[in-house]
Amino acid sequence: MIFIEYCYNTMEELQLEIPVDLSSITLRQYQDYLKIYDKWDKEDEIYIKSKMLQIFCGLKPEDTLKIPLASFDNTIQHLLDCLNADTPLIRKFSMEGKDKDGNDAELEFGFIPKLDEISFGEFIDLEKYMSDWQTMHKAMAVLFRPIIHSKKEFYRIDDYGGSARYSDVMLDMPVSVAIGATVFFYRLGSKLPVLTMDYLQEVLKKEGATPQVKQILGESGDGISQYTHSLKVMLEESMKSQRPVFTAAL
């Protein structure tokens, strides 16, 4: 964060915390921003600018009007540049969390090392949560889990115990990591091994068709081909609302 202080009268100071880049913005903040953006009528520019400063810079509503005009416009443009920055896949990142004994610790999270070995349960949860940015923290809890062993560039992550296990923690992950993972899946599209008929049929043989799976696929299994296509469609819809892009400060 960049910290800037403004003296707007002799008694008070206004502190502005500006994210350095997209990695300084959390997924929680980004979700809050999209909630506001989706409801914005695209007419009141002061409204959306003020909300950006409140969400990303921690300002109180009444303080947004006290910033010097030049700094106000520069900060908005900087935030837009952050939001529109390229986001490659980031396979590892660190965050504050709880260790296995429940103590505060810095945890290193890793992206699923082998996508072709993803479980059917993980796939179902991704399909459920990745289509909406308001549940993206749950999808990220599927894709990223604590690294429990590493050697050079190789690592192993914690076994999947359901999205709820780390979803709250993921609210505070850098949104650059979340966007990078989403873009990665979107670009990969139907090339994912988990989206092939052979893979799904093999998983069904191995794990059996639970009531939940039957409901998704259909009792006769006729829904398999539609289900294999669902992730690509889901990601395309997700990407439509991924990041509002502006050509200039609003």
User: Mean of the pLDDT values across residues 237-245?
Assistant: 48
Residues 6 or more apart whose Cβ sits within 8 Å of residue 75: 16, 18, 53, 57, 67
Q: Is residue 4 predicted with pLDDT exceeding 90?
A: no
Residue 174 has pLDDT above 70, yes or no: yes
Give 29's contacts (C-beta < 8 A, 6+ positions apart): 55, 56, 175
Q: pLDDT tens-digit profile of 16-49? A: 789 999 999 999 999 999 999 888 887 788 899 9
**CA dist., res. 196 & res. 193, Å (int):** 6
Distance CA 115, CA 195 (A): 11
Three-state DSSP string of the chain: CEEEEEECCCCCEEEEEECCCHHHCEHHHHHHHHHHHHHCCCCCHHHHHHHHHHHHHCCCHHHHHHCCHHHHHHHHHHHHHHHCCCCCCCCEEEEEEECCCCCEEEEEEEECCCHHHCCHHHHHHHHHHCCCHHHHHHHHHHHEEEEEEEECCEEEECCCCCHHHCHHHHCCCEHHHHHHHHHHHHHHHHHCHHHCHHHHHHHHHHHCCCHHHHHHHCCCCCCHHHHHHHHHHHHHHHHHCCCCCCCCCC
Among left, alpha and beta (phi > 0; psi -120 to 50; other), residue 157 is beta
Question: In the structure encoding, which two tokens stand for residue 218, read together?
Answer: 């259909």
State mean pLDDT over 149-165. Answer: 91
Say if CB 139 and CB 130 are below 8 A apart: yes
The model's confidence at residue 167, banded by pLDDT at 50, 70 and 90, is very high
Radius of gyration of the chain measured on its C-alpha atoms: 21
Tokens of 186: 């979107």
| Banded model confidence at residue 15, pLDDT cuts 50, 70, 90 | confident
220 pLDDT higher than 70: no
**pLDDT at position 182 over 50:** yes
